[in-house]
Amino acid sequence: MKLWLDTAKIEEIREIASWGVLEGVTTNPSLMARAGTADRKSVARTIDEIVGGPVSAEVISTDAEGMIEEAREILTWSPHVVVKIPTTEEGLKAMKEISKWENGRINATLIFSANQALLAAKAGATYVSVFIGRLDDAGQDGMEVIRETAAIFELHDIPAEIVAASIRHPRHVIEAAISGAHIATIPYAVMKKMIKHPLTDVGIVRFLEDWKKVAG
Ligand code: G3P
């Protein structure tokens, strides 16, 4: 499972990229607002320079024509940019058209059911983003949607990659990997928690103390 970062904050991306484990980044209008910028182009370009992998930038339009027009521009911003399209009826129409283009990389977003994932994949999405945290928040089992989608895609040889999105905690990452997600897009705070374990810190202190006893 590939590890992406779910943020538009450049300093967070630089820090996690320095670990050598980062394979992509997703942004959306809310994450842009949290980063305090509306300049999607410069954010996407900077991220691509840092990560050199898929970077999702979302359309603002809600009608197919507007989404297609935005996608035409967004896909020129950097070599790895992916256009994020909401999974609606209008979104499906836009995906079908964009997927015909040579550079038509699509991340179908706001997916809350395996049926939406199936439809997005049929419309030509490269990635389908299932929002597991928001499903859990609504009292549903977000991971079940990942499991169902993974089973359907495997059974029917559907090439779209499943992105576990709206991740809330480190257990979500482990469960997404076991459930068949190809990618987890992880908030910065969760990524920082993934590397931490108190026993690792205690172990380092003990090793250094013991080393001092023999090495002086
Ligand atoms: O990648 C999707 C993600 O940004 C949504 O997360 O926390 O707003 O549900 P959240």
- The alpha helices in 126-169, defined as continuous H runs, are 132-137, 142-155
Domain 2-215 has CATH 3.20.20.70: yes
Instruction: Please report, rounded to a whole number, the percentage of residues in the chain having pLDDT higher than 90.
Output: 100
CA distance 109 to 86: 5
Which residue ranges of the chain lie beneath pLDDT 50?
A: none
Q: Where are the domains of the chain?
A: 2-215
Give the per-residue pLDDT at 50: 98
Mutating to test ligand 1, I would choose from 4, 25, 31 the residue with most ligand atoms within 8 A of its C-beta, which is 31
Give the per-residue pLDDT at 56: 98
C-alpha distances (whole Å) from 35 to each of 40, 68, 95, 140, 195 are: 11, 26, 27, 30, 24
Name the amino acid, one letter, at 108. Answer: A
Name the amino acid, one letter, at 39. Answer: D
Q: Does residue 84 have an active-site annotation?
A: yes
Annotated catalytic residue within 9, 84, 96, 122: 84
Chain-centroid distance, C-alpha 105:
14
Q: What is the pLDDT of residues 130-174, one digit of tens each?
A: 999 999 999 999 999 999 999 999 999 999 999 999 999 999 999
Q: What is the pLDDT of residues 186-202, one digit of tens each?
A: 999 999 999 999 999 99
CA distance 127 to 108: 6
CA distance 49 to 100: 26
Give the per-residue pLDDT at 216: 83
Residue 95, both tokens: 């995906």
CA distance 63 to 89: 9
